[in-house]
Amino acid sequence: MTMLDRMRRHRNWLKWSLGLVCLAFVIFYIPDFLRGTGADAASGDTVARVGGHDITAGEFRRTYQAQLQAYRSAYGGQMNDQLLKQLGIEQQILQQMVDERAALAEADRVGITVSDEEVRQRIFSMPAFQENGAFIGEARYNQLLRMQRPPMSAQEFEDSVRRGLTVEKLRAALTDWLSVADNELEQEYRRRNDKVKLAVVSFTADSFRPQVSASDADVATYFEAHKADFKIPEKRKIRYLLIDIDGIRAKTVVPPADVERTYNNSIEQYTTPEQVRASHILLKTEGKDDAAVKAKAEEVLKQAKAGADFAELAKKNSEDEQSAKNGGDLDYFGRGRMVPEFDQAVFAMQPNQTSDLVKTQYGYHIIKLVDKKVATTKPLAEVRQQITDQLGYERAQAQAADLAQKLEKQISRPGDLDSVAKANKLAVQESGFFARDEPILGLGPAPEATNKAFEMKPGEVSGALRASRGFVIETLVSKQDPYVPKLDEVKERVRDEVIKQKARDASKQKAAEIAAKLKAAPDFEKAAKAAGLEAKTTELISRDSPIPDLGVAPAVEEAAFKMPVGGVSEAIATDNGTAVIKVIEKKEVTPDEWKTAKERFREELLSDRRNRFFGSYMMKAKKGMKIDVNRETLQRVIG
């Protein structure tokens, strides 16, 4: 029996109502699955187990597809499955789910539970499950879950809500004690929001490099004084067998019939729904006399119908501040983006038509339809190559994963790499020595392979590891301990550092010479120009903002916020050179601004601190948990 089965006992206080559920719920809570994706992994298979809590293939697939859809919505055609997989999105998603399960395991340990009543109340309170302030009803609730591809059961959804609530309660139990004093809160708010406008004369170190040189004696002297700065870190060398996805992709043929089937099964990806562009004037009713607001709205409507400039009417009368400043413009939007009454009215209109008054929960709207775009679908010919590339990459990746899983079972000692590679027409390669933060020769960035290399002992063999180019099976050949090098090994690095230092010193000297003239000049900008320099003016900027030619320069900002308006600084050294600045304007937080923002900022700052504390706590907690990941199941899920 699910929790909602028990709701029947409480029907007498529920106001059941049917209606459309906000599209946002479908996107956020119940993602739309691409047909065929992950079909080789049964929904109940385990992708990972964390402290006794399983992540099933079905749960991972659901989360994975939701993330893919979010990226597609944000980046359109620039973001496809192949690119996402190359970026390792599946690993990021897996890590998020592992973190959630770890939190659940910790909640078990400390005795935190969530009751059916708490789950019920959370579901009922979700705006997307409400119509006119009441729950949509059990029948509609279950119908909506069944409409998903694949269908989602009530139990699955309720379990996900329960997990979320459990993590919330754990986080609250661990972090609700945190607080921030008023004086500290105000200081931090002002630090983030006070602004200055500057005129900046910069002397970049790079511009002085051609004027300086470093002799061998300079290099030797600097090296002797800074040997620790040039210490060579620990390095490792591996031999590895690479299963190259691109190599497999080049040999993979995608039949036209498969392309057509994929196109037909996911036609919604290539369809742009009907859209309209509209402007509106909103007169809010909340806390006001409805009749008075309606009377004013009718007067504005009369002016709009008589031919008055709609944009000017919106700027003058609309209480939707965001759109009012743009003449009421809402830009293009599709069905479901607006509240139902607004949606129904605007999609029934024709371009250049002005509506009658439209009443919504926000107040009275006057709508002008600017443009209407009919729904369109890209023909197969236009997207054939895109689908072919996508299917080709997915199949190559699946073949590479299958081969990697097969070969890792055949390789238990270093000598097996060569025999297995030869039998499969692959090559074994050897890297040079590499540090933890360096790419591996022939592989490029490969975090799993790098991390494993620094965990292994000489002669050990890894399992199949993910790399940007495919899958790697490696063995550690040798390791090099950290050491302070001889000068000859790092001579050019030292020389470059000496030149950088000399260029900085030259920029400081030049700036110091000019600073006195600029401070004494009645016109900072003219004095700079007379000296053959340019005083660049910033916008009003807050701390941590980049300074022209210098980037983020803490020393410059520290001086700027201490100086009065009109003040000119001495020469200020930065990492990239030296600057002389004049403060043109200051905009400090006013008492009224602080009063308005105080409690909102308190929540923002507390939330940030609580998140960091919770993250640190869970990082330590996970060290004591057993975390197992089934890479084979994971690969079958993502295709």
Give CA–CA dist 122/128, Å, rounded.
Answer: 12
Average pLDDT, the chain: 86
Ordered domains of the chain (ranges, CATH): 3-177+628-638 (1.10.4030.10), 182-190+591-622 (no CATH), 195-230+490-587 (3.10.50), 235-262+385-480 (3.10.50), 274-374 (3.10.50.40)
In DSSP terms, which residues pair with 202 in a beta bridge?
579
CA neighbor of 399 nearest in space, from 554, 591, 253: 253
Stretch 234-242: mean pLDDT? 95
- Asked if the model's pLDDT at residue 10 lies above 50, the reply is no
Q: How far apart are CA 473 and CA 466, in angstroms?
A: 9
End-to-end CA distance of the chain: 34
Task: Specify the pLDDT at position 123.
Answer: 86
Residue 69, pLDDT > 70, answer: no
Which backbone phi and psi does 428 adopt, to 5 degrees? -100, 130
Which range has the worst mean pLDDT, 23-32, 39-48, 590-599?
23-32
Query: Would strands 235-244 and 546-547 be described as parallel, antiparallel, or unpaired?
Result: unpaired
Looking at residue 540, what is its pLDDT?
94
User: Percent of the chain scored above 70 by pLDDT?
Assistant: 88
Write down the pLDDT at residue 70. 67
Please state which of the ranges 24-28, 181-185, 493-497 shows the lowest mean pLDDT.
24-28
Q: Judge whether 627 and 50 are in contact, CB under 8 Å.
A: yes
Q: State the Cα angle at 302 between 298 and 306, rounded to 5°.
A: 170
Instruction: Show the 3-state SS of 219-231.
Output: HHHHHHHCHHHHC
Q: CB–CB of 53/104 below 8 Å?
A: yes
Using CA atoms, how far residue 70 sits from 24, 28, 386, 463, in Å, is 12, 9, 19, 32
- Which residues fall within 8 angstroms of residue 226, CB to CB, at 6 or more apart? 494, 497
Q: Average pLDDT, stretch 447-464?
A: 91
Residue with tokens 């089965």: 5
For residue 77, pLDDT over 80 is answered with: no
Query: Quick one: 523 exposed, middle or buried, by C-beta within 10 A (0-12, 13-18, 19+)?
Result: exposed
Q: Compare 6 and 216 and report the one with higher pLDDT.
A: 216
| Burial environment of residue 475 by CB neighbours within 10 A (0 to 12, 13 to 18, 19 or more) | buried
**pLDDT tens-digit map of 598-615:** 999 999 999 999 999 999
Tokens of 611: 């998140």
pLDDT at 203: 92
Q: Give the pLDDT confidence of 500-557 residue by residue, as tens digits.
A: 999 999 999 999 999 989 998 999 999 999 999 999 999 999 999 999 888 899 999 9
Q: Using one digit for the tens of pLDDT, what is the confidence trace for 318-348?
A: 998 889 989 999 998 888 778 889 989 999 9
Instruction: pLDDT band for 140, please (50, 70, 90 cuts).
Output: confident
Span 212-220, average pLDDT? 94
Residues with Cβ within 8 Å of residue 26, at least 6 apart in sequence: 32, 144
- For the chain, the residue count is 639
Which of 31-35, 46-50, 514-518 comes out lowest in average pLDDT?
Answer: 31-35
For 483, the 3-state DSSP assignment is: strand
Query: In the structure, what pLDDT confidence band is assigned to residue 19 with cuts at 50, 70 and 90?
Result: very low
**Confidence at 136, pLDDT banded by 50, 70, 90:** confident
Contact between 302 and 292 under an 8 Å Cβ cutoff? The reply is: no
Distances 458 to 65, 234, 299, 320, 477 between C-alpha atoms, Å: 40, 14, 84, 67, 6
Q: What is the pTM of this model?
A: 0.60
The arithmetic mean of pLDDT across residues 99-123, rounded, is: 93
Name the band, by pLDDT with cuts 50, 70 and 90, for residue 127.
confident
Write out pLDDT tens, residues 88-97: 788 888 889 9
Instruction: For residue 3, name the pLDDT band (cuts at 50, 70, 90).
Output: very low
Pick the residue with more confidence: 406 or 73? 406
Question: What CA–CA distance (Å, rounded) separates 587 from 162?
Answer: 47
CB distance 473 to 483 below 8 Å: no
Q: How confident is the model at residue 39 (pLDDT cuts 50, 70, 90)?
A: very low
Q: Is residue 442 helix, strand or coil?
A: coil
CA separation for the pair 274, 294 (Å, rounded): 31
Predicted confidence (pLDDT) per residue in 376-397, tens digit: 899 999 999 989 988 898 888 8
Q: Average pLDDT for residues 188-193, to the nearest whole number?
A: 94
Q: Which neighbouring-strand residues pair with 586?
A: 196
Residue 311 CB neighbours (<10 A): 16
CA–CA separation, 347 and 333 (whole Å):
10
- The better pLDDT of the pair 356, 138 is held by 356
